[in-house]
Amino acid sequence: MIEKFLKREGLVIAIGTMMIYAAVYFFERGYCSALNIPLDYIEISIPTIASDLSHLYLFIVPVAVISMAIMAKAEEKKNKGLYTLAPLSCWLVYSVVLFFYGDKTLESAVICLFFGGLVFWVVRFRDDFKEGDSPLRAQTATVILISMAMFLFSFTFTIIGRSHAEAGNFEVYKNNDNKYALLKVYGENVFMQEIKGGKRVSEITYFNAQNMTGMIITGK
């Protein structure tokens, strides 16, 4: 089935492009919600995609490579015990990598384990498909599987976006005697937070890119 799918190059490229845009959008959504930037301003441009993918790859690559290696090894050896434990291993890999991106708290650990549990069910859900299943049961199972995968996909990248925003590594600009932390740029829309007493204030300051002429970059 996978081989037939991969032969349809146009479909593969279309779905791959759609998933990249969706991943970047949810990353930006999580990032903006953490900083109280209005979500209506989100723009998915080439610079945004290039910037976000550098962060997303650090999550996707280890999870995908390790999980696929575990599943391939389990199927290769045809060991029922190892095959049964493979989804559990994927659960742990996903949870650990996601926890690395989030807050190191008990609440964050519980959330990561919950989403890891969804990975476990998505991985093993294919075992619930039987050749003799009725069309209704097969369609119901497919809808459930797709829904779980979409829920997991969206919340995973939203969490990573929030974690990146909460890390607080922003460029600092100086305008006259005022200092601002650059939060995000969408086209001509620039969102900053003023820095007072060495700390960022809660209010968001909006600039048009044309109005930033003369600002001095002081670092991070």
State pLDDT tens for residues 173-192.
888 888 889 999 898 889 99
What is the percentage of the chain residues whose pLDDT exceeds 90?
A: 13
Closest by alpha carbon to 211, among 196, 191, 184? 191
- Judged against a pLDDT cut of 60, whether residue 102 lies above it is answered with yes
> 68: which 2 tokens?
């696929």
The backbone region for 121, taken as left when phi is positive above 0, alpha when psi lies in -120 to 50, beta otherwise, is alpha
- Judged against a pLDDT cut of 60, whether residue 1 lies above it is answered with no
- Mean pLDDT within 22-44: 92
What 3-state class would DSSP assign to 13? helix
Angle at which helix 46-77 crosses helix 106-124, to 10 degrees, equals 60
DSSP-assigned letter for residue 216: E
Residue 42 sits at φ, ψ, to 5 deg, of -60, 130
What 3-state class would DSSP assign to 16? helix
> 165: which 2 tokens?
């925003």
